[in-house]
Structure 1
Amino acid sequence: MKVALLSDCYLPRLGGIEVQVHDLAVRLRGRGHQVSVFTATPGAHGERGGFVDVVDGIEVHRLALRLPFELPVNPLAPPELRRRLQQGGYDVAHVHMGVVSPFAVDCARVTTSIGLPTTMTWHCMLGAAAPLFRLVPTVRGWAEAGVAMNAVSGVAGEPLQRAIGDAGVVENLPNGIDVSAWLTERGPQAGADGIRVVSAMRLAARKRPMALLHAVLRVRELAPDVPFTLEVLGEGPDRARLQRFVDRHDLAGTVRLVGRVSREELRRTYADADIYVAPARLESFGIAALEARTAGLPVVGLWGSGLNEYVEDGVNGFLAGDDEALAGCVARLLLDDALRRRMAEHNRQVPPAQSWEHVLERAEAEYARAIALAGARR
């Protein structure tokens, strides 16, 4: 099958969608499919304007404009995108939607207008915008046009299903993970600095890193005699504000803002850590938390996020109702060594269902569904 993956963002940008689309492309190719990527992200050396490069064996069409901060936006792309898709002999298009995805929206308009079977994966939580999606007919119109809709989790898919109503069915197509790569041989062990708590996220308001620091203050009150450290892995626009909070509240000995790290560094960190915390509310999936869970870390997050897909409350982590409860769950794990170790052992012994083998089967099923829906419309 010849597959076109269409996404605003792609490598060399780093983020959840970028990495997932790249990994999906490489693994589909490994299963014998022909795969091309179309993106509004410039190349590593600023390549744009339709330049085609090859990244890890995948043909990447960079339909990018020269914009400040290399923003992945190009309202001029549709004519050229249409030409390339029509001439490329593609069997199916796979559009990847994020929180704000103008390029992906244009891609969906192009693929449906030329009759190319299309599946659309929603990587985001609609949140407060959900009522708007029900009022604006665009999304329902795509479903009526035969687009096979899916989302990375149940909580991401539910508002989407309400938005399209009876025009289609929203399936679940989770993000994938290489389970064997994240399994750790060694169990968590508290070191000289105490119990190691970690979190990986973009340092931006949507991920709620400030709420995490407030939780640290509360945890110190709830477990005053237990030494622990928090390492926050990632970069973003809120870093300076977070550092000021750390300095103002005398948290320098407890909290370390590590910055961006490679996947290998992340693996090493998880292998030596004890607890993972995910404070985001609008987390459609949480790939970093899944990686930590696979590495054997008990995961503490918020109920009603994408973590519901792979964290079983009280079994391999905790899903808290609010920030106060989240701090309480972290404190409980700090205070109860046996509970923490039991959850860690469960996570190392029971792999998650979101392995790439399962995800690729689901993706291929969505491609078949898109082709069938397009055929029914014709």
Structure 2
Amino acid sequence: MKVLHAVTLHTPTHDFGGPTRVALNLSRGLRARGVQAAVVALGDGFDGPLPREVDGVPARLYQARHVLPRFEVSGITSPALLADARRLVRSADVVHVHLMRDLVTLPLALIALRCGRPLVLQTHGMIDPTEKRVAQLVDVLGLRRVLKRADAVLHLTERERDDTRAVVAPEPMAPAYRLVNGVQPQPIKSPRTDGDPAAPTVLYVARVQERKRPQDFVAAVPTVLARYPDARFVLAGPDTGALAGDMLALARRLGVGHAVEYVGALDHADVLKRLRSADVYVLPSVVEPFAVSVLEAMSVGLPVVVTGTGGLAPDVAAAGAGRVVDSRPDADNGELVGRAILELLEPAANRAASRAAWELVRDEFTVDGVVETLHGIYERVIAEH
């Protein structure tokens, strides 16, 4: 079986985050099962030639052209990719498109329909009803067509499935299947211990952008420092929202600038190293469909603080893998986040949440389990196409 994964963008600093990581994880897992999986995407930010392999996965990358800069990632494309699209699509038994309203994945999905190839769409929570006029035009020009005519549409949560269906309503959407995100199992880290002399480290690893509420991470610092004056707060991830400077300025205004460090974007090995050396992971996003970064934190046994609007919140709460706090986009949530961090810095709570987080990923969210489900979907799609 030959599978082509199409995703919008890959950069050295992983600016596009979750969808690209998911595409690579799935492709690597499929290849381990003997499936010929590859990735096609735009590449940007590389000093030399674009790589032909990413994380062990064959990759066909095309230099990104910023034709509509005001739309950021939705406004990039490549004439060379579009010229090669029909050949790329026809070389695959299944075309798996990580779909968004853009000039890369949507054209590839439309071309797969025209070429009669089995088409699987995965929306990553990025497709829902909108009042934006340009997005509505994109829906009319092609998005609704691919959502109705695909062989399968994958969703992370029931909410995502319902939101995607609402885009094509009242007409029916293609068959829907649930596929969660998964990560590689990791050895469990050492939790905090009674009398631990090391300064506590609290970590945020995600894109620094408004939707992920890094300001709530920074605003939590005074609450934590009141009990742990030597605690360190590390903010990591690509600054796609141009907010990193604002976050450091906020820390200085709060009088805690000495405790907050921004380390920029990290490669995957460095992400895992940071996760293993931290005591609590925090992602206070307003909306987070199914954060890979939270799964990776839990995969090493790092307790997490997430918001109730995230797709993983029910799993975290049920397993005791961390703390779930309210998400109030119009309010300062720093004290809520800070109190949750303090609870998880208590050694007994940290040990319990660490073990629960590690077991949750091991039992429910490994790449192998996700890939097995996905392979079954592919086989069904090919048989029924």
Residue 344 of structure 2 is aligned to residue 333 of structure 1: yes
Q: Distance in 2 between matches of 1:115 and 1:134?
A: 26
Report the counterpart of residue 231 of structure 1 in structure 2: 234
C-alpha RMSD of matched pairs (Å): 3.1
Query: Following TM superposition, by how much is the alpha carbon of 1:65 offset from its aligned partner in structure 2, in angstroms?
Result: 4.8
Partner of 1:200: 205
Q: Is the 8 A contact 1:300 1:320 kept in 2?
A: yes
User: Using the alignment, how far apart are the partners of 2:159 and 2:319 within structure 1?
Assistant: 20
Q: Which residue of 1 aligns with 2:330?
A: none
Aligned to 1:117: 118
Tell me, what secondary structure is at the counterpart of 1:188?
Answer: coil
Distance 1:116 1:13, change over 3 A: farther
Q: Deviation per CA, 1:302-333, whole angstroms, max 9, x where unpaired?
A: 11212236412571212222335434322333
- Could you say what secondary structure the match of 1:305 adopts? coil
**Partner residue, 1:7:** 7
Paired letter, 1:200: V
Q: Does 1:173 align with 2:179?
A: yes
Q: TM-score, normalised by structure 2?
A: 0.82
**Secondary structure, aligned partner of 2:348:** helix
Structure 1 residue ranges without an equivalent (≥5): none
Bigger shift: residues 344-353 or 122-131: 122-131
Change (3 A) 1:345 1:369: same
In 1, Cα distance between equivalents of 2:251 and 2:31: 45
Q: Distance in 1 between matches of 2:64 and 2:377?
A: 31
Out of 282-291 and 313-322, give the one that drifted further: 313-322
Q: Distance in 1 between matches of 2:45 and 2:33?
A: 26
One-letter code of the match for 1:330? I
Deviations 1:206-246 (A, max 9, x none): 221122212334x24xx733333321222302111112112
Calculate the TM-score normalised by the size of structure 1: 0.83
CA contact (8 A) 2:189 2:301 kept: no
Secondary structure of the equivalent of 2:202? strand
Which runs of 5 or more structure 2 residues have no equivalent in the other structure?
328-332
Counterpart-to-counterpart distance in 2, 1:157 and 1:188: 39
Query: Shift in Å at residue 139 of structure 1?
Result: 3.8
CA distance in structure 1 between the partners assigned to 2:200 and 2:56 by the alignment = 42
TM-superposition CA deviations, 1:31-62 (whole Å, max 9, x none)? 111223222225945557xxx93446644333
Q: Is the 8 A contact 1:187 1:271 kept in 2?
A: no
1:188–1:271 CA contact under 8 A, matched in 2: no
Question: C-alpha distance in 2, partners of 1:296/1:368?
Answer: 34
Q: In structure 2, do the counterparts of structure 1 residues 238 and 43 end up closer, same or farther at CA, with 3 Å as the change threshold?
A: closer
Instruction: Name 1:214's counterpart in structure 2.
Output: 219
Name the aligned partner's letter for residue 157 of structure 1: R
2:352 aligns with 342
Q: CA deviation at 1:91?
A: 0.9
| 1:62 and 2:61 correspond | yes
Is the partner of 1:276 in helix, strand or coil?
strand
The answer to whether the Cα contact below 8 Å between 2:13 and 2:238 also exists between their aligned partners in 1 is no
What letter matches 2:267 in structure 1?
S
CA 1:325/1:246 → structure 2, altered by over 3 Å: closer, same or farther? closer
Q: 1:289 to 1:78 in 2, by over 3 A?
A: same
**Are residues 1:188 and 2:192 paired?**
yes
Contact 1:161 1:170 in 2 (8 A): no
1:21 aligns with one of 20, 23, 28: 23
What do residues 62-98 of structure 1 show as CA deviations (whole Å, max 9, x unaligned)?
Answer: 3435548996423664343113333x2x211000124
Shift of 1:339: 2.4
Percentage identity across aligned positions?
23
> Mean Cα displacement is larger for which, 311-320 or 121-130?
121-130
> Are the structure 2 counterparts of residues 140 and 128 from structure 1 closer, same or farther at C-alpha, using a change threshold of 3 Å?
closer
Aligned residue-pair number: 362
- C-alpha spacing 1:368/1:211, structure 2 compared with 1 (3 Å): same
Q: Distance in 2 between matches of 1:144 and 1:170?
A: 11
Deviations 1:273-299 (A, max 9, x none): 221111112212111111111211221
Q: Aligned runs of 1:1-378 on 2, under 5 Å? A: 1-10=1-10, 12=12, 14=14, 15-41=17-43, 44=46, 47=49, 53-55=52-54, 58-67=57-66, 72-74=76-78, 77-86=81-90, 88=91, 90-98=92-100, 100-126=101-127, 129=130, 136-137=139-140, 138-165=142-169, 166-179=172-185, 181=186, 183-189=187-193, 191-192=196-197, 194-217=199-222, 219-220=223-224, 224-227=226-229, 228-236=231-239, 237-308=242-313, 310-313=315-318, 315-322=320-327, 323=333, 325-334=336-345, 336-350=346-360, 351-373=362-384, 375=385
AA of the residue aligned to 2:181: N
1:167-213 Cα offsets, whole Å, 9 max, x none, are 3332222222111x3x3242234754643221111112222112221
CA distance in structure 2 between the partners assigned to 1:290 and 1:362 by the alignment: 18
